[in-house]
């Protein structure tokens, strides 16, 4: 990899981290409403899978994949406005957080019904296949969501038709409070791929090199028409399920163990070993990501709050008369 790309990957990791930290702080400062689901600690997964995608590929992030938005090309300003529920956000205030996708950039918004995006991704990949488009769909989901029937239905169909889709399971070991052992009986979610007739792989989701290697292979396979792949990334969220979750269900020791394998820390280590000027890079990147996030916050705070009657817009292609007078 070139130094330029190495440094760019670093900037991406740092931008996501800065963005997530800022949102958590804004929430505690009472400036946000609604849930905030920090993906802090999981940045390498979204960077690894989205960085080398084409503009016309599609991603299906779940609630903790804010990073995927930032890497796939969403405007940080609009993303922040989305979180503030402003008119400038993707959903124009109708819903917050990652429920409003940025479709022109190939980013599909999720519902709260976990993994409900997977069948949608499969359907989209089916279109890519029958129209002979060499595009791919990347569907992210947590190991918690893997317990839902939608996951089975989507993977089964993708296996039947060898669809150009990559299923990315972010296993952060807890579905809210519920640990892996109360969620599934297999060792790895990736083991399930065999049941659908495609390859499953487990990678260290905190190591960007590992993630990028697996992502590259899986995306290449999909693009060439060789079918889906399930990549399970073992990773960890530092925060609770949401900002109002104490996360009492896990130990301090466990958290510290994972913090010592932090994806940004690992990547800085790599940059240093490559004999790049890590201090200069760190300084420059800090200034850059801070500015981008501050500008995004300023943009969102100055954004327009939607007005009541706008609630009725965007419901149908042409408005229908729903309120008899």
Which residues face 200 on adjacent strands?
Answer: 230
| CA dist list (Å): 296 to 21, 74, 158, 300 | 13, 12, 38, 6
Counting contacts by CB under 8 A, is residue 130 touching other proteins?
Answer: no
Is position 306 an interface residue for other proteins (rule: CB under 8 A)? yes
Cα–Cα distance measured from residue 182 to residue 21, given in angstroms and rounded to the nearest whole number = 30
The answer to whether 70 and 19 are in contact (CB under 8 A) is yes
183 near other proteins, judged by CB under 8 A: yes
Return the closest-CA partner of residue 79 out of 31, 16, 28.
16
Q: Give 75 or 191: the residue with its C-beta nearer to other proteins.
A: 75
Site string for other proteins, 218-247 (x = CB under 8 A): ----------------------x-xxxxx-
Q: Which of residues 134-163 bind other proteins (CB under 8 A)?
A: 144-145, 147-149
* Near other proteins in 110-129, by CB under 8 A: 111-114
Q: Compute the least distance from the CB of residue 111 to other proteins, in Å.
A: 6
Binding test (CB under 8 A) with other proteins, winner from 46, 96, 117, 235: 96
Q: 196 to 215, contacts with other proteins by CB under 8 A?
A: none
73 binds other proteins (CB under 8 A): yes
Total residues binding other proteins (CB under 8 A): 88
Does the footprint of other proteins cover residue 88 (CB under 8 A)? no
Judged by CB under 8 A, the chain residues 252 through 281 that form the site for other proteins are none
Q: Strand, coil or helix: what is 234? A: strand
Question: b/e for 40-72, b at 16 or more Cβ within 10 A?
Answer: bbbbbbbbbbbbbbeeebbbbbbbbbbbbbbbb
Helices and strands: H and E segment counts in the chain: 10, 7
């Amino acid at each position: 990899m070139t130094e330029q790309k190495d440094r760019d990957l670093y900037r991406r990791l740092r931008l996501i981290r800065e963005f997530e930290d800022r949102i958590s702080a804004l929430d505690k400062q009472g400036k946000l409403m609604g849930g905030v689901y920090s993906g802090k600690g999981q940045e390498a997964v979204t960077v690894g899978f989205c960085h080398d995608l084409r503009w016309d590929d599609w991603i299906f992030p779940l609630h903790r994949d804010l990073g995927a938005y930032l890497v796939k090309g969403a405007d940080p300003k609009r993303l922040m406005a989305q979180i503030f529920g402003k008119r400038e956000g993707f959903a124009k205030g109708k819903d917050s957080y990652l429920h409003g996708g940025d479709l022109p950039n190939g980013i599909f918004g999720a519902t709260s019904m976990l993994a409900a995006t997977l069948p949608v991704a499969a359907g989209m990949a089916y279109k890519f296949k029958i129209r002979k488009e060499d595009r791919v769909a990347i569907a992210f989901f947590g190991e918690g969501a893997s317990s839902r029937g939608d996951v089975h239905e989507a993977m089964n169909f993708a296996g039947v038709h060898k669809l150009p889709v990559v299923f990315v399971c972010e296993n952060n070991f807890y579905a809210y409070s519920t640990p892996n052992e109360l969620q599934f009986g297999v060792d790895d979610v990736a083991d399930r791929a065999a049941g659908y007739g495609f390859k499953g792989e487990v990678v260290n989701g905190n190591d960007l090199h590992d993630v990028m290697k697996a992502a590259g292979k899986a995306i290449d396979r999909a693009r060439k028409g060789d079918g889906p792949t399930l990549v399970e990334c073992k990773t960890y969220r530092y925060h609770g399920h949401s900002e109002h979750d104490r996360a009492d269900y896990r130990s301090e020791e466990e958290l510290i163990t994972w913090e010592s394998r932090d994806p940004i820390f690992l990547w800085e280590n790599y940059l240093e070993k490559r004999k790049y000027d890590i201090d200069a890079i760190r300084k420059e990147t800090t200034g850059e990501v801070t500015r981008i996030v501050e500008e995004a916050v300023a943009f969102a705070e100055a954004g327009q709050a939607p007005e009541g009657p706008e609630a009725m817009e965007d419901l149908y292609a042409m408005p229908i008369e729903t309120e008899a007078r």
